């Protein structure tokens, strides 16, 4: 992608924006006057235009940001981060806290990419501002970037923000309104709200059914089978392969990132449901039927 | 980067960073910046008494030296501090024919603190604006247009924003083109008409 310029809007949070405005209004002019007096006209020129400056009013140098980062992270986090290590850290934290991806190999389909200057298919489609498209830097694009920044402020920096912080799914949803992106309360029930509701219900379903009910069912089935075995029920132990059943009980849950894929679609852990369906059927089948825990129950039809 | 199993901390080159420490660290730097701002402004009134939405920025204006700070509304505020220092015997030794002879010791100390504040703001903007820009992009940030370089700090509705050009091939991040879409505050409703939040200089 080298050779293509992009415009990346970034948004400080309200407190920082206010402080920065105060700094520029009240302090910068005095810096320019005193800097010029102490260090000459070159310093005056730098201080007149550049937001950041090097020692003695010189233009900022490459190592300045690393020096500042190392200073503050060393003091407050006890780990000295430079520009490179901080970018890696921010990417990892952003994936986990903002996007909800844990597996580093998973695709990151979010404006987080764009903010970091990375390019992925989705962020490119949504946020890519190529030179020929500069005129498209409009309210919508600014709002998308701002709401993504607000996610960072809320989830990573834990700042108290005015208004509602929209979810990443809402940010990425094409029907999310500008008011939603701005965190304003909407008066109606929009499609993005429906989308959030589906995600919410999906999470509740997975938590209640998969994590709570299925284990209870498994336990009940095991007890029933043991009871039948002890009291001479129809099912004989040699016909039931418990080893085939138990590992499926411990089937790993999909990661958060996997859950985020297929937005708007209820993800049903089919294998778990089929598992206990299979066990129920197996438990009531006549002799000669082998329980496998799979969707095919009967050996011979 | 290696996460702990519960994703509460992350190891960076053998050192552990707890996620819960990041907001604390950020707040401490923010407090430090506010404290420095208070020291530098020597107790003058620094509240802006107009709605933020009164500040008008024209993203398309590429006139050299243009900045939203040129808004006439801000003029009385911009010279308030220097006017205060000029009257301070600690800072001014004498005035000869209108030229001020500054006390260099006091001026250097003031500039040293100002530079500390500048460093705090660099950290706060870099860490506090979402996914970080590359170092050269941040450092090249302008708040006024230069002769051939567009500024990258704008006053848009909802607060200040940086719009940085990004190109992996760039050594020095400049915008080689002008923004062709004029964004004026009346196109937005965000914070419009809302009084600027009271900008107090610093917590006591």
Q: What CA–CA distance (Å, rounded) separates B163 from B142?
A: 10
Mutate: best of A13, A14, A16, partner B, most B CBs <10 A: A16
Q: State the angle between helix axes of A41-49 and A28-39 in degrees (0 to 180), rounded to the nearest 10.
A: 160
N-to-C CA span, chain A: 58
Measure B150 CA to nearest chain A CA, in Å. 10
Contacts of A145 (CB under 8 A, 6+ apart): A8, A9, A10, A11, A111, A114, A115, A127, B130
> Is residue A196 in a domain?
yes
Q: DSSP E strands: which ranges in A138-245?
A: none
pLDDT at A209 over 80: no
Q: What are phi and psi of A135, to 5 degrees?
A: -60, -15
> Is residue A270 in a domain?
yes
- Do the Cβ atoms of A47 and A30 come closer than 8 Å? no
pLDDT at A128 over 80: no
> Is residue A84 in a domain?
no
Q: What CA–CA distance (Å, rounded) separates B139 from B134?
A: 9
Task: Name the more confident of A103 and B160.
Answer: B160
Closest CA to A176 of A160, A163, A193: A193
Which residues is B18 bridged to in the sheet?
B9
Task: Closest CB to A20: pick one of B119, B121, B187.
Answer: B121
**Pairwise CB contact (< 8 Å): B25 & A77:** yes
pTM beyond 0.80: the answer is: no
Predicted local distance difference test score (pLDDT) of residue B17: 94
Question: Any CB–CB contact under 8 A between A103 and chain B?
Answer: no
Order across the sheet with B9-12: list the strands: B2-3, B9-12, B15-18
Q: What CA–CA distance (Å, rounded) separates A35 from A43?
A: 6
What one-character DSSP code corresponds to residue A135? G
Summarised one tens digit per residue, pLDDT across range B21-60 is 999 999 999 999 999 999 999 999 999 999 998 998 888 8
Give chain A's domain count: 1
Which residues is B99 bridged to in the sheet?
B96
> Is residue B200 in a domain?
no
pLDDT at A186 over 60: no
Q: Which residues of A touch B119 (CB under 8 A)?
A: 68, 71
H or E segment and range at residue A14: helix A14-22
Task: Closest CB to A1: pick one of B122, B158, B168.
Answer: B168
Task: Closest CB to A90: pick one of B41, B131, B137.
Answer: B131
pLDDT at B178 over 80: no
> Is residue A265 in a domain?
yes
Q: What CA–CA distance (Å, rounded) separates A87 from A66?
A: 11
Predicted local distance difference test score (pLDDT) of residue A112: 56
Q: Which residue has the tokens 């190999």?
A: A105
**Pairwise CB contact (< 8 Å): B167 & A5:** yes
Is the predicted ipTM greater than 0.90, yes or no?
Answer: no
Query: Would you put residue A267 in left (φ > 0), alpha (ψ -120 to 50) or beta?
Result: beta
Q: Mean pLDDT, chain A, as a whole number?
A: 70
Contacts of B74 (CB under 8 A, 6+ apart): A25, B55
The sign of the CA dihedral A19, A147, A153, B130 is negative
CB-count burial class (<10 Å; 0-12, 13-18, 19+) for B141: buried
Q: Which residue has the tokens 């206010």?
A: A18
Which percentage of chain A shows pLDDT scores above 70?
58
Mutate: best of B58, B96, B130, B184, partner A, most A CBs <10 A: B130
Summarised one tens digit per residue, pLDDT across range A64-100 is 999 999 999 999 999 999 999 999 999 888 888 876 6
Q: Which residues 78-97 in chain A show a CB within 8 A of chain B?
A: 78-79, 81, 83, 85-94, 96-97
Please tell me which residue of chain A has the smallest CA distance to B85.
A30
A144-158, B14-28, B69-83: the lowest-pLDDT one: A144-158
**Pairwise CB contact (< 8 Å): A142 & B138:** no
- Do the Cβ atoms of B181 and A134 come closer than 8 Å? yes
**Pairwise CB contact (< 8 Å): B12 & A71:** no
pLDDT at A2 over 70: no
Measure A29 CA to nearest chain B CA, in Å. 7
Distances (CA, A) of A171 to A136, A204, A260, B183: 18, 22, 13, 22
Q: What are phi and psi of A206, to 5 degrees?
A: -65, -35
> Is residue B177 in a domain?
yes
Mean pLDDT of A248-266: 45
> Is residue B201 in a domain?
no
A146-160, A190-204, B115-129: the lowest-pLDDT one: A190-204
- Do the Cβ atoms of B11 and B19 come closer than 8 Å? no
State CA A10 to chain mean position distance. Answer: 18
Q: What are phi and psi of A40, to 5 degrees?
A: 100, 180
Q: What are phi and psi of A298, to 5 degrees?
A: -105, 130
Give chain B's domain count: 1
Q: What CA–CA distance (Å, rounded) separates A50 from B143?
A: 6
Measure A276 CA to nearest chain B CA, in Å. 30
N-to-C CA span, chain B: 40
- Do the Cβ atoms of A131 and A26 come closer than 8 Å? no
**Pairwise CB contact (< 8 Å): A14 & B159:** yes
Q: At A37, list the tokens.
A: 């007096």
Q: Mean pLDDT, chain B, as a whole number?
A: 82
What is the residue range of A272's domain?
191-283
> Is residue A5 in a domain?
no
Closest CA to B45 of B11, B76, B8: B76
> Is residue A253 in a domain?
yes
> Is residue B88 in a domain?
yes
Q: What CA–CA distance (Å, rounded) separates B138 from A70?
A: 16
Task: Closest CB to A7: pick one of B41, B121, B165.
Answer: B165
**Pairwise CB contact (< 8 Å): B129 & A152:** yes
Summarised one tens digit per residue, pLDDT across range A150-172 is 889 988 998 988 877 777 777 77
Q: Which residues of A touch B140 (CB under 8 A)?
A: 50, 60
CB-count burial class (<10 Å; 0-12, 13-18, 19+) for A187: exposed
**Pairwise CB contact (< 8 Å): A12 & B128:** yes
Max CA-CA distance within chain B?
71
What is the residue range of B91's domain?
2-187
């Amino acid at each position: 992608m080298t050779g293509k310029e992009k415009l990346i809007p970034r948004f400080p949070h309200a407190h920082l924006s206010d402080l920065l405005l105060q700094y520029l209004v009240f302090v910068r002019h005095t810096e320019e006057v005193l800097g010029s007096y102490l260090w000459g006209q070159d310093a005056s020129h730098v201080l007149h235009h550049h937001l950041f400056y090097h020692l003695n009013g010189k233009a900022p140098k490459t190592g300045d940001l690393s020096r500042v980062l190392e200073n503050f992270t060393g003091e407050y986090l006890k780990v000295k981060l430079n520009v490179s290590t901080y970018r890696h850290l921010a990417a990892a934290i952003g994936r986990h806290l903002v996007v909800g991806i844990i597996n580093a190999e998973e695709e990151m389909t979010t404006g987080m990419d764009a903010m970091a200057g990375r390019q992925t298919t989705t962020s490119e489609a949504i946020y890519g501002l190529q030179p020929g498209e500069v005129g498209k830097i409009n309210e919508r694009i600014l709002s998308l970037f701002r709401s993504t920044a607000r996610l960072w402020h809320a989830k990573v920096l834990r700042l108290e923000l005015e208004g509602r912080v929209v979810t990443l799914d809402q940010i990425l949803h094409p029907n999310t309104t500008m008011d939603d992106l701005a965190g304003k309360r909407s008066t109606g029930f929009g499609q993005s709200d429906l989308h959030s509701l589906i995600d919410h219900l999906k999470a509740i379903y997975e938590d209640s059914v998969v994590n709570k009910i299925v284990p209870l069912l498994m336990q009940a089935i095991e007890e029933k089978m043991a009871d039948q075995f002890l009291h001479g029920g129809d099912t004989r132990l040699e016909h039931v392969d418990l080893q085939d059943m138990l590992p499926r009980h411990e089937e790993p849950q999909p990661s958060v990132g996997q859950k985020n894929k297929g937005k708007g679609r209820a993800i049903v852990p089919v294998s778990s449901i089929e598992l206990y369906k299979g066990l129920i059927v197996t438990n009531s089948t006549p002799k000669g039927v082998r329980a496998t825990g799979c969707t095919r129950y009967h050996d011979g039809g | 980067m290696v996460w702990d199993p519960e994703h509460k901390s992350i190891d960076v080159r053998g050192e552990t960073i707890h996620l819960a420490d990041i907001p604390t660290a950020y707040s401490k730097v923010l407090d430090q910046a506010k404290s420095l701002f208070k020291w530098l402004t020597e107790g003058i009134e620094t509240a802006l008494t107009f709605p933020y939405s009164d500040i008008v920025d024209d993203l398309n204006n590429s006139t050299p030296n243009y900045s939203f700070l040129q808004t006439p509304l801000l003029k009385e505020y911009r010279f308030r501090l220097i006017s205060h220092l000029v009257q301070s015997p600690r800072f001014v030794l004498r005035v000869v024919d209108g030229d001020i002879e500054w006390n260099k010791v006091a001026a250097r100390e003031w500039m040293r603190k100002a530079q500390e504040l500048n460093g705090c703001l660099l950290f706060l903007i870099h860490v506090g604006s979402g996914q970080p820009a590359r170092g050269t992009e941040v450092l090249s940030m302008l708040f006024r247009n230069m002769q051939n370089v567009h500024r990258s700090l704008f006053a848009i509705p909802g607060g200040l924003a940086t719009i940085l050009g990004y190109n992996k091939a760039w050594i020095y991040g400049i915008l080689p083109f002008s923004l062709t879409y004029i964004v004026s505050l009346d196109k937005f409703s965000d914070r419009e008409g809302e009084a600027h939040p009271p900008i107090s200089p610093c917590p006591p």
